[in-house]
Amino acid sequence: MTIGIKKVARPREMSFPESLYLVEIVKGLGVTMGHMLSNIVRQEGIKTIEYPEVRREMPPRFRGCHRLMKREDGSPRCVACYCCATACPAKCITIVAGESPDPGVEKYPVRFDIDMLRCVFCGMCVEACPCDAIRMDTGWFTPPDDTREKLIFTIDTLLEK
Amino acid sequence: MTGPLFDIAVAVARIAVFFAFCFGLVVVMTWVERKGAAYIQDRRGPNRADIFGIRAWGLFHPLADALKFLFKEDFIPDNAHRLFYQMAPMFSLAPAILGIAIIPFGPDVTVMGRTIALQIADLNVGILYLFAVSGMTVYGVVLAGWASGSKYPLLGGLRSSAQMLSYEVSMGLSLLGVFMVFESVRLSQIVAGQGGLLFGVLPKWGVLVQPLGFILFLVAQYAEANRTPFDLPEGESELVAGYHTEYGSFKFSMFMMAEYLHMVVGAAVVATLFFGGRQVPYLGGAGFLFPGGFAVAVPPALVLLLRIGAFVAKVVFFAWLYVWVRWTIPRFRYDQVMRLGWKVMLPLSLLNIFATGLIMLLLKG
């Protein structure tokens, strides 16, 4: 036997009734009608998830929308160091720093906006953060909305998540 | 009402009602196509459009589609031939509408002492008129393909014209058997001829006296309507959208309407020629008369409703069959279409004519 030649199973020759296609087409119609009827009768059997009303269960380490962490007294953990904004490759984080009323803390973010339409969900901001103030563990990606403005998340929405 | 006024009123009413029926069915068919496709493919299909929060299984999607088409920009590409580009959708839609004219929708009804046929025009050329009119559809497709000034529409138009011309031949020949059996080309007489019984048991429907003719005609009709498995003039995977690639807004929707109207008229023609049109098996003017001599009396009003209902049901079934077949069978390759048309359909339809003539000669002789 010659080396490198492999016998491949070819489809068998069609019999005469099969080559007329008529019976085979009727069989095919039966298959599709079966699918349709079973899907009409058992709507819950359809695999489609009706996003956004129904949400898929994401794996626990899914890297999704951001949230800002709080200290025990409820103030944001963020010290407005700009590390995340610097690390961000999409330049989607806007921070405006202000002087903190707490004498032990130097700065706090007056504004902390994330443009979710520009974010690429790379997770660099989380890695860059020195005080674990930003996390991406909300388990969901950008929700659908009808204006661009609603998808620029401000500090209040980020803290609530 | 007096004579001529009554006639005009009847003519206008018939045209309005049958036109509305066909277009209503076209609208529903666009929904059926999408929803049926979805359920056949284990999806959910359109279910978002709502009116006051009522979604009704996506039934409002055709309305939303129509509004969207109406409000889109009416765009003409730079390379297009402006006159022909705008003529093409009209040439596509008009023949499809004209086909409605000769279809008998039900039995004769008597209104104010006058007999009215439920048919817009009972032409003595009958089905030949339909061939003449539907043959014009190819102009719309070729014009669209050529006038768009773009390569994909041109290829789609070329394919479509070759395909339609090839299948026109076997479509016409496959019906000759029907004309021979019922000895007429008038649709009203063909329907009347299908009211009888075959061997005293089976209804004398065209599909039972002309089974081969029925299959050939159905296949040729699918090819004429550019429906799957013969939809290669608009094969998405090869030609973007074929001859209507460069069309948008309402011009595109005219092509779509023409396609679905072809399905509806085609379904009506199949129902009329091969499934007895308005005829219900064993139902006569006074009631059911079954072969065993068993009779059930039915009031005349109910007979009328049953007959119109039978026709509508047959049309709806065959319109659904178009959708059903579309989502079952894959598309043919171009050479396969041509081989089927010229080497299989044409000889078989000639054989069908020969066999029909031979059997009729033997039975008469």
Counted domains in chain B:
1
State chain A's mean pLDDT as an integer: 85
B216 to chain A: which residues are within 8 Å by CB?
A: none
DSSP β-ladder status, A134-135 and A67-68:
antiparallel
Angstrom distance (rounded) from CA B80 to CA B92: 17
Q: Is residue B312 part of a domain?
A: yes
- Closest CA relative to residue B21, chosen from B317, B316, B323: B316
Residue of A nearest to B39 (CA): A36
DSSP β-ladder status, B114-116 and A152-153:
unpaired
Angstrom distance (rounded) from CA A94 to CA B121: 73
Residue A26 touches chain B, beta carbons under 8 Å: no
How many CB atoms lie under 10 A from the CB of residue A161? 13
Q: What is the pLDDT of residues A41-65, one digit of tens each?
A: 888 778 888 887 788 888 888 888 8
pLDDT of res. B2: 63
Residue of A nearest to B35 (CA): A36
B44 to chain A: which residues are within 8 Å by CB?
A: 46, 48, 50
A49 to chain B: which residues are within 8 Å by CB?
A: none
Q: Is residue B45 part of a domain?
A: no
- Least confident range from A33-37, A88-92, A136-140, B263-267: namely A136-140
Low-confidence ranges of chain B (pLDDT < 70): 1-2, 200, 235, 285-287, 291-293, 365
pLDDT of res. B292: 67
User: Chain A interface, mutation test: which of B47, B329, B339, B340, most A Cβ atoms within 10 Å?
Assistant: B329
Q: Is residue B23 part of a domain?
A: no
pLDDT of res. A71: 85
Residue A33 touches chain B, beta carbons under 8 Å: yes
Angstrom distance (rounded) from CA B361 to CA A141: 76
Q: Is the pLDDT of residue A1 over 70?
A: no
pLDDT of res. B275: 85
Nearest 10 degrees: Cα torsion B220, B224, B225, B230: 70
Q: φ and ψ at B287, to 5 degrees?
A: 150, -175
ipTM of the complex: 0.72
pLDDT of res. A89: 92
Among A22, A28, A39, beta carbon nearest to B39: A39
- Domain around B137: 72-364
Among B36, B44, B215, beta carbon nearest to A48: B44
- CB of B253 closer than 8 Å to CB of B66: yes
- CB of A84 closer than 8 Å to CB of A132: no
Angstrom distance (rounded) from CA B117 to CA B101: 12
- Closest CA relative to residue B332, chosen from A29, A21, A13: A21
Task: Give CB contacts under 8 A, 24+ apart, made by B332-336.
Answer: B332/B229, B332/B230, B332/B232, B333/B232, B334/B159, B334/B232
Q: Is residue B295 part of a domain?
A: yes
pLDDT of res. B285: 66
**DSSP H helical ranges for B56-136:** 61-71, 82-98, 127-135
Q: Is residue B38 part of a domain?
A: no
Q: Is residue B309 part of a domain?
A: yes
Residue A41 touches chain B, beta carbons under 8 Å: no
Q: Is residue B84 part of a domain?
A: yes
Q: Rounded to two decimals, what is the model's pTM?
A: 0.79
